[in-house]
Structures are given as structure tokens and as C-alpha cells.
Amino acid sequence: MNHSESMKHIKSIRIRWISSGLLSAVFLAISFSLLSLSLWNSISPVSYWFILPISLLISLVLIQIFKLSKISELDVSRLLDQTYPQLEESFSLVFKNSEKLNVLEKLQVEKIKNEMQSIQTPALIYKRLKISAIFLVISILVSIFISRLDFGTLNNTNLGIEKEVKPSIPDKILAEISSIKLKIIPPAYTTRNTRVQQQFSATVEDGALLEWVIETSRPASKIKFIFNDKEKIKLRSVNKSGTQWAITKTINQPGFYQVELDGKLSELYKLETIKDQVCLIRIITPRQYSTIDFAEPQKTNLQVQINDDYGINDTYISATISSGKGESVKFKEQVIRFNESMNGKQEYKFQKTIDLQKLGMVPGDELYFYINATDSRKQQSRSDIYIVSIQDTAKLMSMNGMLGGINLVPEYFRSQRQIIIDTEKILKDKNSISDEEFKNRSNNLGIDQKLLRLRYGKFLGEETDEQIGEEHEEHTAAEESAAFGNAEKIMDTYAHKHDIAEDATFFEPELKAQLKATLTEMWKSELRLRTYKPDQALPFEYKALRLLKDLQQKSRAYVSKTALKTPTIKAEKRLSAELDKIIQPSAERTLLKSEEQNGLKKSTSIIAKLKEGKKLNQSDFSILQEANRNLAAKASTQPATYLKSLGIMRKILSKSGNEKVSFGELSTIEAALQRMIKNEVKTPQDAKAAPKTSLSTEYFNSLKRQQP
């Protein structure tokens, strides 16, 4: 084999190597795209035509990974040297000019020249192609298995095929209609897929687009849909023979409809709508009214859960900071966004720590905030307003507000305040006094706190130190049985014993609970003062004082704060004295007329006659005709409740003698009429007092009789 033949052979092997790599990349790309589309199609319908662009994209990526464009003749020679040992790793000498070879290299070329004639294309270049082909076969089998599990959707290769919804209870259709195909296209905000069903009755999303395709067994001249006995829409003929008809309509409210085919009416079919609900917001923490006491971290932990039926689009915190008081109060509003994106989630839980100091709040400020959420239909909802306040110790120590209102126990307020002042003084003097004096002053202050606690305990019937916080156990069933008939036990139930905490009746239960909480804070303060830790006792002292001041304010009435949005004033209308647009407010109420009430009541008696097997006269049919109109109005708004009764009523009116209406159907329509009568809105009327029952009326009549 000469030099030119060797080069030609190397180029041929290089082309086979690159072709094998390209084909293996295509096989792998088809395998990956086929598997992914099969899994996707098992969840929601998708066209298999997407295999082409996906495979092309994956193939380009694999070609770059395999580095097929970088395969050269030198790589082929190295592959041949590795595959055939008889070449003695000298095949690369073929690429060199024979004039530039030295003596040893020329001898080596002559030695391997005979071996080069027996060289074949290495099988190693086809190894990747074989593996990819096997993977392609496996992926095809797996895709077929997945499609069989999904009821054969692999055969539906048309673009945009939807899954068919099988009806639970098939509708009764006209004999002339051979098939019905109803395509339901939900609105975009639902993010739901298109579905197809083969019945007229349907439950659809609010704002869904419905496409009916009806096929008849014989040519029809015209077909109409009658919606709610009011709106008539003609169907358009799809083919020239008049056997296929179609119509499209957007459904925004519930109701019913029927088909009119060449003057022949079908039964009534219901259309129910699924209303889009606004986001449901639930704030887990903090409480609606919370206070951050002295020495507590000026942070609040916010835990919120938001749910929506279709998807959450956006949510944020609307915060308002109130600072100052009186006429100098200031408000600052800001929006706090969340880092996470909603991405149409139906349920979203998040936890966020709001740093009040970073918001610029200082002691005495209040934070008002609420959560605002927007769903996929741009409907907004908001939570209640929550308030977080930072306790102002300077305001807490002031005497303002102590003179007004009803003081529950005002003589002891100043004592708790004095304990706080003394505690702060001890902490201030700690470095300038001896350790023994520090402990004595702290212990003496703890004794003062105990005495104050015992004074407040008297209001709860806790007259001894041992009773503080004591829980009295309930009587057992045996003890109650033994005390049956004991007069003293019976009197104990109603007697006031001020030395028993649970029987003390100085305050209402709410005030008693808050007073108990005050005693608990005093107890914690006393414990730390007695153990020479006045710095740890100070927060409990402040909280006890705040609870006491809250008790003092319980007798006052407050009006809750509400947000007021005033309308924008038009400058051109200001001071123009034009009052033509100002009218008296009116409230509309739909009242059932008395004759309609009587007609419904008469209809129930007529239905009772039918249940007894009696015949109806013309007057009875007239009354039932009026009841039929009332039922139609109800069925247009509540088809699930009244549509079946409306169909039975029309069955009664269309059949003289009513020989084909069953007893159960009569009971159904009777219950519907009774429900309409029960839910009627009664007209307001003047109250008529019975004679001689009012003392004021008798006195007035007596005065009239005495007049000359």
C-alpha cells in the first residue's frame, strides 16, 4: 500500500467514525425526547410532533459533547495503532514526507507496509452507535408501556388532542342526534387543560369557552340552542349535507338549555359554573394585637398560609408605622415583598422575621400591617389588620391617665412603679457599692415585691403566700355522691368565700385572668430579686406594670381604627353648587308578589291531587303554567337544585292526564315548590297589636273619652 492509498484509507475510516458518532447522537436524542414526552403525556395531553424540535436540540448538544468535529487523521492513526499491535505504533509515519524520514523510520515503514494492507475499519468506532441503538429500542418499549398505562394516548398523534371525560350519568338525547362532542376550554387563569365530553350537561369553570359539535343521523334544516328559556342561538352547519352542526359560546353564569331540532325539543340540560374564589389568607403568628415588652427582641415572627383554588399570582405585606402622639402623630407606609416567587402555587406557606428596628421603629411606635394576595385572575384579597407595638417604658412610668376613668386598685400602681425605679437605681449603683450591700438591697426589694404581690392576691382570694398559684382539684364523683343532700355543700356553691381564689367574685373572669397573669410576672420578678439578679427582674417588673395599667384602662371604651379612602375631589366641580348628581340612596329588594306566593301554594295542592291519581282541569293547568315560569327563573340561577323539578313540571304540562309521571317525580317537584315558598322574602308590614293589651293604648283612649 503506497502513501496515497494509505491516506485515502485513513480518510475513509475518519468519515465512518464521524458518521457513527452523528447517528448515535440522533438515536440518543430521539430516545430522551420520546421518554420525556411519554411521561409528560401521561400527566397532560401533548403532541408527539414535539419530538422533532426536542431531538434536534439534544442532538446539537450531544455533538458538542462528543467533539466529532475535532476528529482528525492523526486520531485515526492513533486508533489504528491501539487496535492493531502489528503496526508497532508506527502508523503515524505515513503522514510524513518520505524525503524527511531518517534511515530507521524508512526501514520501519517498509516493515509495516505489508501489515497495512490487512487493516480493516476498527470495530471500536461503532461501539457508541450500538449502545445508542439499544437504548433507542428500550426507550420505544418503555414509551409504549407508559402509553398503555395512560389508556392508549400514544395513538393520538394529532396536535392538541384532549382527554375525553366520560359522563357519570348519560343524558337523554333526541333520537335524531347520533353523537355529541362538547369541548370545554377553561379560561387561562385556571391553567387547566382542554377536555372533551360526550354529553350536553356540563360543569365548567367561570368564563370557559364551550364548543359543541353535533352529528345527526339524517340531514337537518336547522338546529337551535335555547338558553334559560330566553336566548336562542342557531347552530351553523359544518358540512353540506346538513348532518354536522357546531356552535361556540362563553359561559359566565349557571343555567340550563335545550336543543331544538327542526321544531322538536330535547330535555333540559344543566350548565353549572365553578366560581373562582379569592385567596384565603391565614396568619398563624403573631397575635392580632401583640406588644413587645422591655428587654425583648424588637422583632416579630410572621407565619402566613395562603390558599387559592387555581393559583396565587402575587402577595406582599402592606405595613404602616405610627409614631408620635396627639397632633404630632406621623404615619409611614411601605410595602414589604417576599423573596420567593408564587409561580401559580395553590398553597403557599412562608415564615418571615420582621426587624422593627430596621423599619425605623422606636419604643412607643406601632406597626399596622396586613397581607395582600392576588390570584391568577387578578382578584385581590387581604387579611385583617394586625398590630405590633413596642412598649414605651417612659410612657409606662408616667402618671398620665391615672386620674381619669375607674381605678380598679389605684393605690398600688405607684408601688410597682417605685419598685422599677429602685431596681434601676440598684443597677446604676452596682459598681459603687459593696457586694454585700448590693445583695441586701436586691433582697429587700424582693421583699417589697412579695408584699405588693400579696396585696394584689387579696383581690383573687389568695390571702396567704402558700396559696399563690395553687390549683384546686375538682371533686371526684365519689365525693359528690357522698355530699348529696348536704346543705353546707349546697350553700358553698352560691356563697362568696373571699379566701378561696376560685370563689372570689371581685372581678369578671377576664379581669381575674389578667390579674393572675400580673401576679405571675411579680412572682418571676421576686424570684430574680431574691437571687440577686435585678437586671433579669427588670423585664418582668415592666410587664407587670403594663398589665396593671391595662387593667386600669378596661373601663374605657375604644373605637377600632379603620382605614378610610375618601373619593378624589374634582377641581372643576368644587364650589359649583351643582347638586343634580346627589340623589337619595336606595336599596333594591326582590320581593315575591302575593299572587305568586298564592300560585305556588296552590301548585302544591294540585301536585297533591296528582299524587292521589285525580285528573286536572283547565284552571289547574293555568296555575301550573305560572309555577313553571317561576321554576324556570329559579333553575336559571340554581340548575343543580331546580332543573330536575322543571323538567318534571314540563312533563306534567305536556301530558294530559299525567299517566306517565311517577309518584317519586311528583314528590320531587312538591319538595322544590315547598322550598321556593319557604325561601320567599316576606313583605314588611305594620305590627297590629291585640286590643286591650297595651297600657299606653288604654291610657290614650281614656284621655280621648274624657275630652269635652
| CATH code at position 288 | 2.60.40.10
484 lies in some domain: no
Polymer length of the chain: 708
Task: Report if residue 347 sits inside a domain.
Answer: yes
Round to the nearest angstrom and report the end-to-end CA distance of the chain: 154
Report the sign of the C-alpha dihedral through residues 415, 416, 419, 424, in that order.
Answer: negative
Full DSSP string of 438-468: HHHHHHHHHHHHHHHHHHHHGGGT--SGGGT
Among residues 603, 675, 606, 595, which one has the least CA distance to residue 635? 675
User: What does each C-alpha distance from 685 to 385, 527, 679, 682, 688 come to in angstroms?
Assistant: 41, 69, 18, 9, 9
Q: Are residues 462 and 541 in the same domain?
A: yes
Out of 274, 299, 328, a domain closes at 274
Which residue among 274, 296, 328 closes a domain?
A: 274
**141 and 236 part of one domain:** no
| Domain residue limits at 211 | 164-274
Domain for residue 215, yes or no?
yes
Are residues 429 and 541 located together in one domain of the fold?
yes
Judge residue 419's burial from the number of C-beta atoms within 10 Å of its C-beta, 0-12 exposed, 13-18 middle, 19 or more buried.
Answer: buried
Residues whose CB falls within 8 Å of the CB of residue 560, separated by 6 or more in sequence, listed in order: none
| Residue 409: predicted pLDDT | 41
Please check whether residue 565 lies inside any domain of the structure. no
196 and 222 in a single domain? The answer is yes
Distance CA 448, CA 601 (A): 79
Q: Where does residue 488 rank: exposed (0-12), middle (13-18), buried (19+ CB within 10 A)?
A: exposed
Domain presence at residue 251: yes
pLDDT for position 4: 63
pLDDT for position 506: 52
Strands 299-323, 330-337: pairing is: antiparallel
Sequence-ordered alpha helix ranges (H) in 44-180: 51-66, 73-83, 103-116, 127-149
Same domain? For 456 and 376 the reply is: no
Cα–Cα distance for residue pair 292/392, rounded to 1 Å: 9
Residues 533 and 455 in one domain: yes
Return the closest-CA partner of residue 312 out of 187, 188, 189.
189
Evaluate whether residue 703 is within a structural domain: no
For the chain, 708 residues long, the average pLDDT of each consecutive 10-residue run is 64 78 84 81 65 82 78 70 60 58 60 61 77 86 73 40 55 88 91 90 92 91 91 89 91 92 89 91 88 82 90 89 76 84 82 86 87 90 89 64 43 67 87 88 85 77 51 45 56 51 58 81 87 87 82 59 67 75 60 67 85 82 86 87 86 66 86 79 54 66 69
pLDDT of the residue at 256: 92
Question: Are residues 352 and 241 located together in one domain of the fold?
Answer: no
Whether 12 and 122 share a structural domain:
yes
Task: Mark whether 327 and 355 lie in a shared domain.
Answer: yes
In a domain, 157, yes or no: no
Are the C-beta atoms of 453 and 540 separated by less than 8 Å? no
Domain tally, the chain:
5
Q: List the Cα angle 404/406/408 in 5-degree steps.
A: 125
Which residue among 553, 574, 602 closes a domain?
Answer: 553
**Residue 237 lies inside a defined structural domain of this protein:** yes
